[in-house]
Structure 1
Amino acid sequence: MTFISTAQHIARISRTDRRGHLVPILLAGTIAAAAIGLVAFLLWPTWEAEVTSGPARLPVSIGGTLFNVPTAAIRMDIQRHSGPQERVDLSFSFPSLEPPEPPKHVSAGNLDVTVQPIDRIFLSIAAHHDSLAPDMRARTIYPRYLEQAPALVEDGLSMRAFRDGSPYGGEDLFSAIAPDITARCTRDAATPGTCLSERRVDGADLTFRFQRNWLAHWRDVAEAMDDLARQVHGKPSEGRGP
Structure 2
Amino acid sequence: MPLFRERPPDSTAARRWPFVILLMALLGMLAMLIFDTWQQMHKLPEGPEVYLQSPETLVSMRLEKWKLAIPRSMLIRKPDSSQNSIDMEVLWPSLAGRKPENAKAFSDGSANRRIIHLHIEPRRARADSNTRFETTYQYVLETDDKSRVQGLNLRVFRSGSGYPGELLAYGPKDQPSPSFVARCPDPKRVVLPENCLREIHLNEDLTMLIQFRPALLKNWQELDRRLTGLIDIFMTRDPAQ
State the TM-score, normalized to the length of structure 1: 0.59
Q: Does 1:143 align with 2:145?
A: no
User: Could you say which residue in structure 2 is the equivalent of 1:41?
Assistant: none
Q: Give the secondary structure class of the aligned counterpart of 1:231.
A: helix
Change (3 A) 1:228 1:55: closer
**How far 1:169 moved relative to its partner?**
2.2
CA contact under 8 A between 1:157 and 1:174: conserved in structure 2? yes
User: Could you say which residue in structure 1 is the equivalent of 2:207?
Assistant: 205
**How far 1:101 moved relative to its partner?**
1.9
User: Could you say which residue in structure 1 is the equivalent of 2:154?
Assistant: 159
User: Could you say which residue in structure 2 is the equivalent of 1:187?
Assistant: 186
**How far 1:94 moved relative to its partner?**
1.4
Counting matched residue pairs gives 171
**How far 1:176 moved relative to its partner?**
2.3
Q: Does 1:124 align with 2:124?
A: no
Q: Does 1:133 align with 2:134?
A: no
**How far 1:220 moved relative to its partner?**
4.2
The structure where helix makes up a greater share of residues is: 1
**How far 1:156 moved relative to its partner?**
1.6
Long gaps (5+) in structure 1: 1-53, 107-113, 236-242
Structure index of larger Rg: 1
Q: C-alpha distance in 1, partners of 2:146/2:236? A: 33
Letter in 1 for 2:183: R
Change (3 A) 1:132 1:102: farther
**How far 1:215 moved relative to its partner?**
1.5
Long gaps (5+) in structure 2: 1-54
Change (3 A) 1:155 1:103: closer
CA contact under 8 A between 1:195 and 1:212: conserved in structure 2? yes
Q: C-alpha distance in 2, partners of 1:104/1:65? A: 30
Higher relative contact order (CA 8 A, sep 6+): 2
Quote the sequence identity (%).
Answer: 23
User: Could you say which residue in structure 2 is the equivalent of 1:92?
Assistant: 90
Partner deviation per Cα, 1:85-122 (whole Å, 9 max, x = no partner): 4111000111110111259999xxxxxxx767432111
Partner deviation per Cα, 1:34-70 (whole Å, 9 max, x = no partner): xxxxxxxxxxxxxxxxxxxx97323322233333322
CA contact under 8 A between 2:89 and 2:116: conserved in structure 1? yes
CA contact under 8 A between 1:123 and 1:206: conserved in structure 2? yes
Q: Which moved more, 1:201-210 or 1:218-227?
A: 218-227
CA contact under 8 A between 1:92 and 1:98: conserved in structure 2? yes
Q: C-alpha distance in 2, partners of 1:182/1:232? A: 25
**How far 1:75 moved relative to its partner?**
0.4
**How far 1:234 moved relative to its partner?**
7.6
Change (3 A) 1:227 1:219: same
CA contact under 8 A between 1:61 and 1:84: conserved in structure 2? no
CA contact under 8 A between 1:63 and 1:128: conserved in structure 2? no
Q: C-alpha distance in 2, partners of 1:177/1:55? A: 37
User: Could you say which residue in structure 1 is the equivalent of 2:9?
Assistant: none
Q: C-alpha distance in 2, partners of 1:151/1:124? A: 31
CA contact under 8 A between 1:120 and 1:210: conserved in structure 2? yes
State the TM-score, normalized to the length of structure 2: 0.59
Change (3 A) 1:60 1:105: closer
Letter in 2 for 1:133: A
